[in-house]
């Protein structure tokens, strides 16, 4: 495992990574809608159950040779093609699956979507799985993502259950550290594990011809990211994940997060430096001093960073709670 770069965590010890699904907490935009529909009672909702309601307004942005970004459906979708078909990274939420799939077909003259990557298990990334699997698309993911998609997930801050996807909608091709089973234009794509960051099943997909790096929910360009500690994400892993992305990207790489604008490597490095500093602050001045999550929020540990970004209190709470499994496992 790579240690955190940038000097901020160069004390000689490496951040611990547990390479197995562990029940630990996260949040997505879709969960707000689902919670509102559920009301006060606990609901059990399959990840694929929502019918298309309002059709989204999708934007198709060309990122390089036969490579596009589709935004506007609740998650960023990257797609690239050759004469054999399309490789797609994430599928948007289930309620917009048809619109996303149509947009991909439209961008590439109806060529078939032959491969879909799930960068992690969250519904905004896996909503097209069922439709595409039935159309013959192979679905690829990190091993832990497949495991989460095969089980019911009830996170403590939500009043409903994410039901397991049906077997046919789960990834059939999995990898642990990295893989080379997917080719585009006759060359293997580069894809691999980001350890425990946003969840414990995060992966990146790098398209070398277009110099585009899809990285899922590990980072965001316009908001504080979610650290889903209930399904294995943790703050130290987020910093390590960003460091891994920095080692792949160069100054011309377009870095596409799960949500928000495309980033440059310079912007990503700024985030890495910020999160590395915050990690030490959360650990040493919040956790090791015995603060509660509410006290951690009240301490305003992120006050000098990104005042325009939403979700600050949620980020502080979840980032703080994510440290428990590594430094206070008996909490």
pLDDT tens string 102-121: 999 999 999 999 999 999 99
Instruction: Provide the angle, in degrees to the nearest 10, between the axes of the packed helices 265-281 and 235-248.
Output: 160
Q: Which two tokens stand for residue 266?
A: 């310079």
Mean pLDDT for all residues in the chain:
87
Residue closest to 184 by CA, chosen among 92, 67, 63: 67
Q: Are 107 and 138 in contact (CB under 8 A)?
A: no
Q: Are strands 138-142 and 173-175 parallel, antiparallel or unpaired?
A: parallel
Check whether 53 has a pLDDT greater than 70: no
Q: Which two tokens stand for residue 302?
A: 């992120």
The whole-model pTM stands at: 0.85
CATH fold of 29-327: Metallo-beta-lactamase; Chain A (3.60.15)
Check whether 224 has a pLDDT greater than 80: yes
Span of 38-47, 125-134, 182-191, 199-208 with lowest mean pLDDT: 38-47
Residue with tokens 């209190």: 313
pLDDT tens string 182-222: 999 999 999 999 999 999 999 999 999 999 999 999 999 89
Quickly state the pLDDT bin for 65 (edges 50, 70, 90). confident
Span of 26-30, 150-154, 226-230, 281-285 with lowest mean pLDDT: 26-30
Q: Which two tokens stand for residue 329?
A: 């496992």
pLDDT at 15: 44
- Say what percent of the chain tops pLDDT 70: 83
């Amino acid at each position: 495992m790579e240690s955190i770069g940038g000097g901020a965590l160069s004390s000689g010890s490496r951040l611990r990574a547990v390479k197995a699904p562990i029940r630990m907490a996260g949040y997505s935009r879709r969960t707000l809608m689902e919670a509102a529909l559920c009301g006060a009672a606990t609901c059990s909702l399959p990840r694929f159950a929502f019918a298309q309601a309002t059709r989204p307004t999708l934007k198709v942005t060309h990122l390089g040779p036969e490579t596009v970004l589709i935004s506007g459906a609740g998650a960023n979708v990257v797609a690239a093609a050759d004469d054999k078909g399309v490789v797609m990274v994430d599928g948007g939420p289930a309620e917009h699956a048809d619109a996303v799939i149509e947009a991909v077909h439209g961008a590439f003259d109806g060529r078939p979507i032959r491969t879909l990557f799930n960068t992690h298990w969250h519904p905004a990334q896996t909503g097209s799985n069922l439709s595409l699997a039935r159309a013959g698309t192979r679905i690829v993911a990190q091993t832990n993502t497949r495991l989460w998609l095969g089980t019911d997930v009830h996170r403590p801050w939500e009043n409903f259950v994410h039901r397991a996807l049906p077997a046919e909608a789960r990834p059939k091709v999995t990898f642990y550290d990295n893989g080379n089973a997917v080719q585009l234009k006759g060359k293997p794509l580069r894809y691999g594990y980001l350890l425990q960051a946003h969840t414990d099943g995060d992966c990146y997909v790098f398209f070398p011809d277009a110099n585009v790096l899809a990285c899922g929910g590990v980072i965001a360009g316009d908001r504080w990211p979610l650290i889903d500690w209930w399904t294995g994400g943790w703050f130290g892993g987020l910093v390590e994940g960003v460091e891994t992305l920095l080692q792949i990207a160069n100054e011309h790489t377009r870095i596409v997060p799960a949500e928000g604008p495309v980033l440059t490597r310079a912007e990503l490095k700024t985030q890495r430096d910020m999160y590395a500093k915050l990690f030490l602050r959360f650990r040493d001045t919040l956790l090791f001093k015995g603060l509660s999550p509410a006290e951690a929020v009240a301490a305003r540990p992120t006050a000098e960073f990104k005042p325009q970004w939403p979700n600050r209190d949620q980020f502080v709470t979840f980032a703080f709670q994510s440290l428990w499994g590594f430094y206070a496992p008996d909490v």
